[in-house]
């Protein structure tokens, strides 16, 4: 037991023992178990969102060719409207990209299919 | 017993390799795809204003088709056309470049066509997906008009760099200064980025081979190349005020290693050497 002097000085006078556990209650028995039920049918499937990382590349078709050529002309005009590039450079570059698109697409085979 | 059990997996040899077709099967594959193969050679010839038979594209394409049919392993699950198209296209364009028709034309209009043809042929090496009939598309875009436009922009800038490289080699004295301004845009880039452009456009290396040399993921190099082309495009259009791109984290280690030995970019050095020679 802490004496008067200890109480005044704020010292810890002693430690009481902990109370012993009185008892542990048993768990109750499981009263009932419900039967398993059937899962409901899948109501629908939503489309996945667009892939955010690498996109798949797209094939160039005959129909796209003219559209792409027009686009090449527009973009070349925009790109070379400044003074940084020589004038003949635009012509070479535009023609080169058009040639590349042409050489990449299988127009002959498409023509055959249509025939 | 074990070897017997393993051999039941169709198309797999005991060493785990895929089997090629028999000669008869390969020959029938050639006959089946001959028309398609010719259409690739015809497309290449038509685009570059050549004769697909006179200039030998037909033979080169057919040879590539036979080669592919004999090496084709169906059990890998890749469709034959997907496997063979790039090789047939490569063979056709290689034959085109070696043909007489390639350098046949003379005169100023023909000079433009000849130079355009050279640029176009090199463009296939920078964007190999074109050989498969596909446009290089922007990542994460909708795959529509915007992406096609982005792909066209990338092709135009790529072609511009190739034309500048070829122009510096073949230009008349008054043209050299014009091409020099194009190269000066590249001197604004970090030395590491200058090296990347130099390797692809001047040394003719593929993006994949650069990635292999640097022991990095190919996607790092592909994405960095796209960013660099965007920078060059904006610089051509707007001038000097464009902020230079940063090096992506996946390539920083390689750039640090490079900077230990190379502090000046390769294009900066080329321009300086040229100026010193003229001084």
In a domain, A69, yes or no: yes
In chain A the first and final C-alpha atoms are separated, in Å, by 111
Task: List the beta bridge partners of residue B12.
Answer: B18
CA atoms within 13 A on the CB side of A83: 2
Per-residue pLDDT of A101-114, as tens digits, reads 999 988 656 666 66
Mean pLDDT of B164-177: 69
Could you tell me which chain A residue has the CA closest to the CA of B125? A100
How big is the A-B interface in CB pairs under 8 Å? 174
Closest in B43, B136, B182 to A106, CB measured:
B43
Could you tell me which chain A residue has the CA closest to the CA of B159? A93
Taking a contact as any Cβ pair under 8 Å apart, which residues of chain B between 59 and 78 contact chain A?
A: none
B255, B260, B264, B265: CA torsion to nearest 10: -30
In this model, does residue B4 exceed pLDDT 60? no
Please choose, from the candidates A17, A92, A109, the residue with its C-alpha nearest in 3D space to the C-alpha of residue B110: A92
Taking a contact as any Cβ pair under 8 Å apart, which residues of chain B between 220 and 259 contact chain A?
A: 233, 235-239
Coil, strand or helix: which one is B267?
helix
Closest in A72, A81, A89 to B160, CB measured:
A89
Distance CA B21, CA B13 (A): 13
Q: What are phi and psi of A59, to 5 degrees?
A: -75, 145
Distance CA B166, CA B115 (A): 8
Distance CA A96, CA A98 (A): 5
A38 touches chain B (CB under 8 A): no
Distance CA B73, CA B88 (A): 17
Q: Please check whether residue B66 is in contact with residue B31, taking contact to mean a CB–CB distance below 8 angstroms.
A: no
Boundaries of domain holding A66: 62-114
ipTM of the complex in this document: 0.86
Could you tell me which chain B residue has the CA closest to the CA of A79? B237
Query: Domains in chain A: how many in total?
Result: 1
In a domain, A14, yes or no: no
The residues, any chain, with a CB within 8 Å of residue B17's CB and separated by 6 or more, are none
Two tokens at B211?
């990635």
Could you tell me which chain A residue has the CA closest to the CA of B232? A79
Q: What are phi and psi of A25, to 5 degrees?
A: -75, 145
Q: Which residues of A fall within a CB distance of 8 Å from B142? A: 50
CA distance B138 to chain A (A): 7
Secondary structure percentages of chain B, helix, strand, coil, to 5? 75, 0, 25
CB atoms B160 and A54 under 8 Å: no
CB atoms A100 and B236 under 8 Å: no
Alpha-carbon distance values, B53 to A72, B44, B118 (Å): 30, 12, 20
Two tokens at B173?
């004295």
Q: Please check whether residue B16 is in contact with residue B3, taking contact to mean a CB–CB distance below 8 angstroms.
A: no
**B88, B156, B183, B221, best to mutate vs chain A, most A CBs in 10 Å:** B156
Give residue A58's Cα distance to chain centre.
21
Collect the ranges in chain A with pLDDT lower than 70.
1-25, 28, 30-32, 37, 40-59, 83-86, 107-115
Q: Please check whether residue B117 is in contact with residue B101, taking contact to mean a CB–CB distance below 8 angstroms.
A: no
In a domain, A100, yes or no: yes
CA angle B56, B61, B67 (to 5 degrees): 130
- Kindly list the structural domains of chain B, giving each domain's residue range(s) and its CATH number in brackets, ordered by start: 9-104 (1.10.1740), 106-123+135-279 (1.20.140)
**B95, B116, B233, best to mutate vs chain A, most A CBs in 10 Å:** B116
Please choose, from the candidates B32, B103, B108, the residue with its C-alpha nearest in 3D space to the C-alpha of residue B72: B32
Per-residue pLDDT of B212-266, as tens digits, reads 999 999 999 999 999 999 999 999 888 777 899 999 999 999 999 888 887 788 8
Per-residue pLDDT of A1-19, as tens digits, reads 455 555 556 666 666 666 6
Percent of chain B with pLDDT over 70: 85
Q: Please check whether residue B120 is in contact with residue B195, taking contact to mean a CB–CB distance below 8 angstroms.
A: no
B120 touches chain A (CB under 8 A): yes
A73 touches chain B (CB under 8 A): no
In a domain, A88, yes or no: yes
Percent of chain A with pLDDT over 90: 21
H or E element, residue B134? strand B134-135
Please choose, from the candidates B167, B164, B240, the residue with its C-alpha nearest in 3D space to the C-alpha of residue B197: B164
Two tokens at B171?
């230009």
Could you tell me which chain A residue has the CA closest to the CA of B155? A97
């Amino acid at each position: 037991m802490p004496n008067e002097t200890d109480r005044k000085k704020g010292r810890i006078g002693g430690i009481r023992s902990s109370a012993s556990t009185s008892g542990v209650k048993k768990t109750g028995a499981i009263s009932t178990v419900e039967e398993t039920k059937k899962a409901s049918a899948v109501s629908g499937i939503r489309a996945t969102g667009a892939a955010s990382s690498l996109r798949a590349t797209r094939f160039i078709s005959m129909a796209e060719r003219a559209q792409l050529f027009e686009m090449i002309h527009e973009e070349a005009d925009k790109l070379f409207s400044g003074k940084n590039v020589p004038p003949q450079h635009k012509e070479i570059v535009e023609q080169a990209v058009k040639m590349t698109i042409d050489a990449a697409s299988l127009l002959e085979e498409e023509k055959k299919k249509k025939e | 017993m074990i070897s017997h059990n393993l051999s039941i997996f169709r198309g797999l040899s005991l060493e785990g390799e895929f089997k090629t077709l028999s000669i008869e099967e390969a020959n029938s594959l050639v006959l089946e795809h001959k028309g398609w193969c010719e259409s690739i050679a015809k497309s290449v010839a038509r685009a570059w204003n050549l004769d697909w038979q006179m200039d030998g594209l037909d033979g080169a394409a057919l040879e590539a088709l036979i080669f592919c049919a004999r090496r084709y392993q169906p059990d890998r699950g890749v469709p034959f056309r997907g496997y063979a198209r790039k090789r047939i296209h490569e063979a056709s364009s290689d034959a085109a470049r070696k043909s007489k028709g390639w350098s046949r034309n003379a005169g100023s209009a023909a000079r433009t066509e000849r130079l355009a043809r050279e640029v176009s042929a090199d463009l296939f090496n920078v964007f190999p997906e074109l050989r498969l009939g596909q446009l290089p598309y922007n990542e994460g875009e909708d795959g529509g008009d915007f992406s096609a436009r982005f792909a066209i922009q990338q092709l135009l800038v790529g072609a511009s760099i190739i034309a500048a490289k070829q122009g510096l080699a073949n230009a008349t004295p008054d043209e050299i200064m014009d091409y020099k301004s194009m190269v000066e845009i590249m001197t604004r880039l970090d030395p590491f980025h200058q090296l990347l452009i130099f390797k692809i456009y001047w040394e003719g290396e593929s993006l994949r081979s650069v990635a292999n040399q640097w022991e990095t993921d190919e996607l790092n190099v592909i994405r960095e190349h796209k960013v660099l082309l965007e920078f060059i495009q904006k610089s051509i259009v707007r001038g000097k005020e464009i902020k230079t791109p940063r090096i992506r984290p996946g390539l920083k280690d390689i750039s640090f290693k490079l900077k230990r030995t190379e502090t000046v970019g390769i294009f900066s050095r080329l321009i300086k050497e040229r100026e010193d020679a003229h001084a």
